[in-house]
Amino acid sequence: MNSLKSRGQSPTFNLMKDKLERIFIEPIPKLEDLEFILGREDPAELKEIFAFADGVRKQFMGDGIILRGLVEFSNYCRGSCFYCGLNRNNKKLTRFRLSKEEIISCVRNIHSCGIKTVVLQSGEGDELESLWLKEVVEAIKAEFEIAITLSVGERTREEYKLWRDAGADRYLLKIETSDKILYDSLHSGMSFDNRLRCLRDLRQLGYQVGCGNMIGLKGQTMRILAQDILFFKENNFDMIGIGPFIPHPQTKLATCEKGNVDLTLKVLALTRIVTKNAHLPATTALGSLEEDFRFRGLQAGANILMPNFTPLAYKKLYEIYPGKRCINEPAGACASCMESLARSVGRYIDYSRGDSLILPK
C-alpha cells in the first residue's frame, strides 16, 4: 500500500494513519492498535479507515463481487442462544424443514442464475439426520457443477467427514465472540471448547472454513472485538461473516440495543486489512437495519453478497432476527438486484465459485 501520510492533518489523524499502516504490514498486529482504530468516531477518520480497507480489498481480491445462493432449509434448533430467534424456547415460531426435493429445486434456481455456490443453512436441530444430509449433498453434486457450503452447527467429527466425503466443499460456523467468558454468558448449555473443536475438525478434514462474529452483544468491549480480529487472523479462516446484533423479541436479549453500524463496518474494515484475502460478505444483517447498509460494507472491504433462495413460504420463518431483508420477495428475486448494487459502488458481479485464496498453514 502507498503511504497514507498527509499534510495539513491533525496529529491524531496522522497517528490513526500510522496505526493503519502498521496493522497492514505486521504479521500479527498489536491489540492496542486495533483497539485504537475501533475507537475512532470522527467522520473524516472513518472515511479514511474504510477507504484504506477498500484499497486492500482491491489489491488482494479485485473488484469482483461473488454471489453465494442461500437456502435456509430448517429452523429447528436445540440451542437456546440468548440472541437468536430460532432458540428452542421460542414457542411462537412455526418450525419447518424442506424436503430433499425442495432443496434440489432451490439449487436448480440458484444454478440457473449463474451462481456457483449454494449455502445450505439450518438451526442446530437434533432431528437433522446426517445420512439424509449426505444424500442431499450427493444429489446436488450429481446434477450441478456447484460448490456446497454447509452451515448446520456443531456436529461430530464423523458427521463432518461423512459430508466432506459426499462432496461438501465449505463449512460456516460462526464463533460470534472469541471471548470464552462472553461466549459462555450467551450460550446456555453449550461449550466454547467444543466450538473450537468443531472448527479444528473442519479444517483438518479439508473444508474451506468460515467463521465470524456479531457486533453489539451485551458485555462486548473494544478489546474483545480486537481479539476477535486476531482470532480470525490466527485461524486463517477462508470466509468471515461480520454483522450487527439485532435484538429479537423472543430472546433474553430482547430489550438490548442493536449493534452500531459504524462499529460493525470498522470491524469489517480491520478484518480486511489484517486478513488481506479472506472472503468477507456484506451480510444480510447489514441490509436489515433502518436502511440497506450492504453498499457501505462493500465500500469497507467486503467482496461477497448472499442472495436468498429460500422458498417464500418459509423465508419469514427463518427469523434469527426481526426485520430481515426481502422476506416477502419470491425466492431468488434479490439475485436480480445484485448487479445494480455492484454498479452503485463501481464494481461488478463475478460469477465464479469464489474458492479460498488463503493458503493452508
**Treating both helix axes as pointing N-terminal to C-terminal, what angle do 192-204 and 157-166 enclose, rounded to 10 degrees?**
30
Q: For residue 6, is it within any domain?
A: no
pLDDT digits (tens, 9 = 90+) for 268-277: 999 999 999 9
What is the rounded CA–CA span in Å between residue 240 and residue 230? 12
pLDDT-derived band at 1 (thresholds 50, 70, 90) equals low
Q: For residue 226, is it within any domain?
A: yes
Enter the DSSP assignment of 120: E
Which of 127, 209, 118, 125 lies closest to 160, judged by CA? 209
Q: For residue 205, is it within any domain?
A: yes
- Confidence (pTM): 0.95
What is the domain-level CATH number for residue 302? 3.20.20.70
Q: For residue 15, is it within any domain?
A: no
pLDDT confidence of residue 127:
85
Q: For residue 150, is it within any domain?
A: yes
Q: For residue 336, is it within any domain?
A: yes
What is the rounded CA–CA span in Å between residue 354 and residue 352? 5
Q: For residue 4, is it within any domain?
A: no
Q: For residue 193, is it within any domain?
A: yes
pLDDT confidence of residue 77:
96
What is the rounded CA–CA span in Å between residue 283 and residue 305? 7
Total domains in the fold of the chain: 1
pLDDT digits (tens, 9 = 90+) for 115-126: 999 999 999 988
What is the rounded CA–CA span in Å between residue 256 and residue 83? 10
Residue 137: strand, helix, or coil: helix
pLDDT confidence of residue 68:
97
pLDDT digits (tens, 9 = 90+) for 43-94: 999 999 999 999 999 999 999 999 999 999 999 999 999 999 999 999 999 9
Q: Which domain holds residue 299?
A: 56-350
pLDDT-derived band at 332 (thresholds 50, 70, 90) equals low
Q: Are strands 304-305 and 348-350 parallel, antiparallel or unpaired?
A: unpaired
pLDDT confidence of residue 4:
46
Mean pLDDT of 217-233: 97
325 Cβ neighbours under 8 A, 6+ residues apart: 284, 287, 288, 292, 334
Helices (H), the chain: 11-25, 31-38, 43-61, 100-112, 130-143, 157-166, 180-186, 192-204, 222-234, 261-275, 294-298, 312-315, 338-344
pLDDT-derived band at 324 (thresholds 50, 70, 90) equals confident
What is the rounded CA–CA span in Å between residue 33 and residue 20? 8
